[in-house]
A and B are shown apart, each in its own frame.
Chain A
Amino acid sequence: MPTKIEKDVITGTDTTGHEWDGIRELNTPLPKWWVYVYLATVVWGLGMFVLYPSIPLGTTYFHGLLGYSSRADAMAGVQEMRAMHGKQMQQIGALSFAEIQKNHDLMEVALTAGRITFAENCQPCHGPNGEGRIGYPALDTDVWRWGGTLDAIQQTVTHGIRSGDPETRTSQMPSFGADGVLKPDHIQQVADYVMTLYGKAKPGVDTAAGQKIFAENCAACHGDKGQGNRDVGAPPLASRVHLYGDARETVVAQVTKPRHGVMPNWNQRLTPATIKAVALYVHSLGGGE
């Protein structure tokens, strides 16, 4: 209860009139400048209320006198960026690979666009850095089943592999086991031989029979030394990099009833310029061919 407002002797300031156990409190009001700044912020706040979107009105809201919208702002920024990228992507679409590679800035755009497109579309199968996984080829090595030049990569990405596109890349290995072309014993023998091609054969195993079977059945496509043949889509076997792995049972399984991977034809979903960017990016992963 304020009782008696009196002047404090020492400071000359009024007291608040409150007293607790003989302790009185000086009335020290907020500094004037503080109060004015506070009032100014209130006025400022009211101004913002009137100028900018503020009051919710059910399904709509008061738009403010300036008609500002952060969403429209953001969309304008997106449009601007699209326009900018559109020009550069157009250039990428129009120029040859060699010309793009010579243009440092354009190359940077292409690699960035390629990287983003790759992450959105290719990464689920080929891995985040193109390292591949079983059944999905690695893109960072020097083994290219269908060619590793920029043009070859562009072709593969555009039309896919066994995709149903009229220009798709395709190949088919016979089911030597399932169709009864080779007996299970022979398949075991040929597997023993194939493993010698990449230095994984167990020592002491006789591979003469397997070699003979290989020469008669496999060499036509895979080459007499297992070096592969791109024209018929036969992968190299004398290689340390294998699509399905290099274990004996894998070889046996593949000869018995081969798996045939499919890659979509991206011309359905990506523009030619974007595919070019992807090709440049994929090529940069391992240097291509």
Chain B
Amino acid sequence: MGDHGAVNVMHHVPEAEVEPPNKLYADRVRVYPKAVDGLARRIKWGILVFCLAVYYLLPWLRWSRGPGAPSQAVLLDLWNERFFFFNLELWPQDIWFLTGLLALGAVALFLVTSLFGRLWCGYACPQTVWTDLFMLVERKIEGDRNERIKRDRGPTTFDKVWRKIAKHALWLGIAFWTGGAWVMYFVDAPTAVREFWTGTASVEVYVFIAMLTATTYLLAGWAREQVCTYMCPWPRFQSAMLDEQTFIVTYEGWRGEPRGHGRRLGVTETKFGDCVDCNACVHVCPTGIDIRDGAQLECINCGLCIDACNHVMAKTGSKPWLITWDTLARQAAKKEGTTPPLRLLRARSLIYLGVMLAGMVVLGAGLALRSHIGLSVAHDRAPLFVRLENGDLRNGYSVLLINKSRQGAEFHLGVEGFAGAQMVLPEASGKPAETLSVILGPDTVQTVRVLVQGRPEHLEEGRQSLDFVLRNAATGEKAVYHSLFMGPGGG
């Protein structure tokens, strides 16, 4: 801001008054965000209501899955090792899908950030959403910015005390509801509520509700913007996604400066810019910064300063959108009097988009082609093989069979790669047969011991490969597991 130093003299502090720093850390400057209305604020309210509604109500959505299965639409049933999302049921083996989903979310975040800056931070991040909700409560009880500042600085009065108590009580209430809703994603919601209030819920339930109540209360009530500025890693590396073509909240310094209000300063000869230096943009900012200093680490791109300034511009009669959404490149050009077109799709964003689409295809395909039966075979360690009366060889295996579907079914277990092989289920006193028939109940994991016997034509160095094949008799879906058949000289 070099070219308007003359106007800004009132900010000047004589050097003699600067105290030597005797602290390694700066104290927190308390932020008293002011209420504001406008486009950004309305979008933010909309997203807030949507996010909170989904979070609090989703566990209560019922979903019919037939007998024996939970009837909650979204349930992460850790105890039974099943995750339910509407019609999708994930087994522990499918956990890669959730990992993939998280990775996809990260890439989507990169893409959005490269295009529009920290939209996530400003609108959808739980820290922002709950802080906004807590601020709303605060405003309803303690009033707007000026009233709050005044009361906080003033003496302890009855009025002050009851308002503080009411505010914290309400905050704690919301925090408790938040913790409770969290637990309902892991335990059936109506059951969780009943057990919680009758004191029969598990210790984990109480501990987690207490923990999430505490974190919600502390993070949204007390820590607020400090979470974004100091605790969250995201702002630290967002600069790797942002560049001068990113469409973010910016101050049009080229027409705002020199800032000031001629009449108020008693200066008439200087030509002032559109900014009247009213600090409205600073007062509404939830992180307490001045957007006129340019894009900065603390800015969560919420656009509330835009709303605030638009009101001021309407009053002063200047062109609105002095603070606006724009790219740094265009702002630089506008300073020179030109307005180049937006260049949102750049190599960076196209790469993010490509990675995201590829990830979606891979995840989608993986999910669609996911097998509903599982097979895993472990060869007996000792003995590796057994010789039978007629000279045949026999190997023992532990076979793990999985039926992920909600219907019980008949399965056929056979082997490939060993002509004339016979199989036996010794535990069931079964007779040798070419294929075995096993009935698996719905949603079942079962281990059976299987013996394979026969006279292998030639054993390569004492062993030969053998494939176990499990087939659903009705649907024909199959799973194959590669194993070995051992003989003398192998091992």
Chain B residues within 8 Å of A, Cβ to Cβ: 20, 22, 380, 382-383, 386-391, 394, 396, 424-430, 432, 449, 451
How far apart are A114's CB and chain B's nearest CB, in angstroms?
A: 11
Shortest C-beta distance, A153 to chain B (Å), equals 11
Interface residues of A in 224-282 (CB under 8 A from B): 236, 239-241
Given contacts A239-B389, A287-B430, contact A131 B382 (CB under 8 A): yes
Inter-subunit contact A240/B429 (CB<8 Å): no
Which of chain B's residues have a CB closer than 8 A to the CB of A107?
A: 427
Is A150 an interface residue when CB atoms closer than 8 A count as contact? yes
Cα(A12)–Cα(B430), bound, Å:
88
A11, closest chain B residue (CB)? B22
Which residues on B sit within 8 Å (CB–CB) of A150? 429
Q: Which of A10, A12, A142, A150 has the most CB of B within 10 A?
A: A142
List of B residues within 8 angstroms of A241 by Cβ: 387-389
A139, B183: Cα distance in complex, Å: 53
For A138, the closest partner residue in chain B by CB is B386
Can you list 20 A-B pairs with a CB-CB distance of less than 8 A?
A101-B427, A111-B427, A129-B380, A131-B386, A140-B386, A140-B394, A141-B394, A142-B388, A142-B394, A199-B391, A240-B387, A240-B388, A240-B391, A241-B388, A286-B394, A287-B424, A287-B425, A287-B426, A287-B432, A287-B451
**Contact across chains for A236 and B389 when beta carbons are under 8 A apart:** yes
- Tell me if A283 counts as interface (CB < 8 A to partner B): yes
Assess the B389–A286 pair: CB atoms within 8 A: no
The answer to whether the Cβ of A45 comes within 8 Å of any Cβ in the partner chain is no
Contact B396 A140 (CB under 8 A): yes
B386 to chain A, nearest CB (A): 5
CA distance A129 to B449 in the complex (A): 14
Q: How many pairs, one residue from A and one from B, have CB atoms within 8 Å of each other in the complex?
A: 63
Q: How far is the CA of A68 from the CA of B388 in the complex (A)?
A: 58
Question: How far apart sit A240 and B392, CA to CA, in the bound complex (Å)?
Answer: 9
Bound complex: CA of A142 vs CA of B424, how far in Å? 12
Min CB–CB distance A70 → chain B (angstroms): 21
Question: Chain A contacts of B389 at CB under 8 A?
Answer: 141-143, 236, 239-241
Is A288 close to B, CB under 8 A?
yes
Q: Is the CB of A240 within 8 A of B390?
A: yes
Residue on A nearest B424 in the bound complex, by CB: A287
CA distance A278 to B212 in the complex (A): 52
A54 CB within 8 Å of chain B? no
Q: Name the residue on A nearest B453 (C-beta).
A: A142
The closest CB in chain B to the CB of A227 belongs to: B389
Which chain A residue has the least Cβ–Cβ distance from B450?
A287
| A65 at interface by CB-CB < 8 Å | no
- Residues in B whose Cβ lies below 8 Å from that of A128: 382
How many Å lie between the Cα of A73 and that of B20 in the bound state?
65
A-side residues, CB < 8 A to B, are: 10-12, 101, 107, 111, 128-129, 131, 138, 140-143, 150, 199, 236, 239-241, 283-288
Query: Which of B22, B390, B391, B426 contacts A285 (CB under 8 A)?
Result: B426
Since A128-B382, A140-B394, A283-B426 are in contact, a sample of 20 more A-B pairs with Cβ atoms closer than 8 Å, ordered by chain A residue number, is A111-B427, A129-B380, A129-B382, A129-B383, A138-B386, A140-B396, A141-B386, A141-B394, A143-B388, A199-B391, A239-B390, A241-B387, A241-B389, A283-B429, A284-B427, A284-B449, A287-B424, A287-B429, A287-B430, A287-B432
> Which chain A residue lies CB-closest to B381?
A129
Give the chain A neighbours of B394 by CB distance below 8 A.
Answer: 140-142, 286
B429 pairs with A101, CB closer than 8 A: yes
Determine which of B20, B383, B390, B427 lies in contact with A131 in the assembled complex, contact meaning CB atoms within 8 Å.
B383
Measured between alpha carbons, how far is A141 from B393 in the docked complex, in Å? 9
Nearest 3 interchain pairs by C-beta: A287-B426, A287-B424, A240-B391
In the complex, what residues of B have CB within 8 A of residue A131's CB?
382-383, 386
* B427: A residues at CB distance < 8 A: 101, 107, 111, 284
Q: CA A150 – CA B427 in complex, angstroms?
A: 11
Q: How far is the CA of A288 from the CA of B388 in the complex (A)?
A: 12
On whether A284 and B426 interact (CB within 8 A), knowing A10-B20, A11-B22, the answer reads yes
Q: How far is the CA of A284 from the CA of B391 in the complex (A)?
A: 21
Q: Is the CB of A286 within 8 A of B426?
A: yes
Q: Which residues of B contact A287 (CB under 8 A)?
A: 424-426, 429-430, 432, 451
Q: Which residue of A lies closest to B396 (CB)?
A: A140
**Chain A's nearest CB lies how many Å from the CB of B178?**
27
CB distance from B271 to the nearest CB of A (A): 47
Residues in B with CB closer than 8 Å to A111 are: 427
Pick the contact of A10 from B22, B382, B428 — CB < 8 Å? B22
Docked pose: A10 CA to B396 CA in angstroms: 79
Taking the closest CB of chain A, its distance from the CB of B347, in whole angstroms, is: 51
Chain A nearest Cβ from B326, distance in angstroms:
46
**Whole-angstrom CA separation of A239 from B390 in the bound complex:** 6
| In the bound complex, CA of A111 to CA of B390 (Å) | 28
Task: Please name the residue on chain A nearest to B451 by beta carbon.
Answer: A287
A252 to chain B minimum Cβ distance, whole angstroms, is 23
Nearest CB in chain A to that of B426: its residue: A287
Q: Among the interface residues A141, A236, A288, which one has the most CB atoms of the partner chain B within 10 A?
A: A141
User: What residues of A have a CB within 8 angstroms of the CB of B451 in the complex?
Assistant: 286-287
Contacts of A138 in B (CB 8 A): 386
- A164 to chain B minimum Cβ distance, whole angstroms, is 30
* Distance of A71 from chain B, by nearest CB (Å): 26
Asked if A288 contacts B22 (CB within 8 A), the reply is no
B429 touches A288 (CB 8 A): yes
Q: Contact: B426 with A288, CB < 8 Å?
A: yes
Q: Choose from B386, B391, B430 the contact partner of A286 (Cβ within 8 Å).
A: B386
Most chain A CB within 10 A, of B389, B396, B428, is at B389
A236 and chain B: residue at smallest CB distance: B389
Cα(A287)–Cα(B449), bound, Å: 10
Residues from chain B with a CB closer than 8 A to the CB of A286 are 386, 394, 426, 451
How far, in Å, is A234 (CB) from chain B's closest CB?
A: 15
Bound-state Cα–Cα, A141 to B426, Å:
11
Q: How far is the CB of B349 from chain A (nearest CB, A)?
A: 48
State the Cβ distance, B170 to closest chain A Cβ, in Å.
28
Q: List, in ascending order, chain B residues with CB within 8 A of A239's CB.
A: 389-390
- Shortest beta-carbon distance from A277 to chain B in Å: 13
Q: How far is the CB of B392 from chain A (nearest CB, A)?
A: 8
Q: Which chain A residues border B432 with CB–CB below 8 Å?
A: 287
In the bound complex, residues from chain A placing their C-beta under 8 Å from that of B430 are: 287
With the chains together, A138 CA to B432 CA distance in Å? 20
CA distance A27 to B333 in the complex (A): 58
